[in-house]
Amino acid sequence: MEPMFLLVFALIGFVFLGWYRGGRKNVEVILSTCRTVERVFEPVDTNYTNIGGVVGVNFVFELSSPFRRLEGTVTTVPRHAALYFPISRWVIRREDMLLVTVYCERLQPGQGHIVERDWYQRAGAAVEEPEEMFETPVARGNRGFLLLWYNPLIRDRLDWMLSQFSDMAADCLRYLGYYGSDNYFSATFHATHPELEAVLLEFKALVRAVPERF
């Protein structure tokens, strides 16, 4: 048998095995993350939409008071793409991510953002016109964050919000946006953090506490 044929055959087998094992792992991540969000927020109704098979999922939860609705997305690293996965994971440093937007009944006007500094510089967050905002560096646990704000009152609010997270939760947090004029919070977490459920419980408590405090 020709060496080139053996090489091609081995490569095909490697790619197929990676697709099978990686895809199965991604499905496990997606299901586990969604179940965790359901346990924490206890929706009265749910709707899921798959994204590209083993890539991720979008979901919408109808919630009870004092919340209204939660919109979320789980995205996974491409474990099913055996040749690209090492680049994505260790060069680009992608992570399995959980993005949630929680709509509340009432929030005070204003807008600001908390971004994990390393992730923000590497991957960026969906912050419109960040160059127009002031930046305040802060630390929580072993991670550095930036507060992005227009109004000093919002800066103080963001600083208080970050202080409500434990060091463990801060290690999982990548982004937290406050959109008071539109009555919602937007947050991004590392989906495969071992204490994700505890982190989301802290986030839920924070979202509940902000309207009562401010």
Cα separation of the two ends of the chain? 74
| pLDDT at residue 214 in the model | 77
| pLDDT at residue 15 in the model | 43
Kindly state the tokens that stand for 8: 């091609």
Instruction: Assign 9 a pLDDT band (cuts: 50, 70, 90).
Output: very low
| pLDDT at residue 124 in the model | 65
Grouping H, G, I as helix, E, B as strand and the rest as coil, residue 50 is strand
- Each residue's pLDDT tens digit, 143-155: 999 999 999 999 9
81 φ, ψ to 5°? -105, 90
**What's the burial of 183, exposed, middle or buried (CB within 10 Å: 0-12/13-18/19+)?**
middle
Name 73's Cβ contacts closer than 8 Å, sequence gap at least 6: 51, 56, 57, 58, 59, 97, 98, 99
Tell me which residue has tokens 């919109």. Answer: 71
Tell me which residue has tokens 């990548």. Answer: 174
| Chain center to CA of 63 | 19
Of 188, 192, 204, the closest CA to residue 38 belongs to 204
Q: How many CA atoms lie within 13 A of 111 on its CB side?
A: 10
Q: Where are the domains of the chain?
A: 3-213
Per cent of the chain over pLDDT 90 is 62
| Chain center to CA of 106 | 23
Instruction: Assign 83 a pLDDT band (cuts: 50, 70, 90).
Output: very low
Helices 152-163 + 196-213 axis angle, to 10: 140
pLDDT at residue 12 greater than cutoff 70:
no
Mean pLDDT of the chain: 85
Average pLDDT for 90-106? 83
pTM as predicted: 0.85
Per cent of the chain over pLDDT 70 is 80
Asked if omega into 66 is within 30° of 0 (cis), the reply is: yes
pLDDT at residue 85 greater than cutoff 60:
no
CA–CA distance, 127 with 132 (Å, rounded to integer): 11
Interstrand relation of 56-62 and 143-149 (parallel, antiparallel or unpaired): unpaired
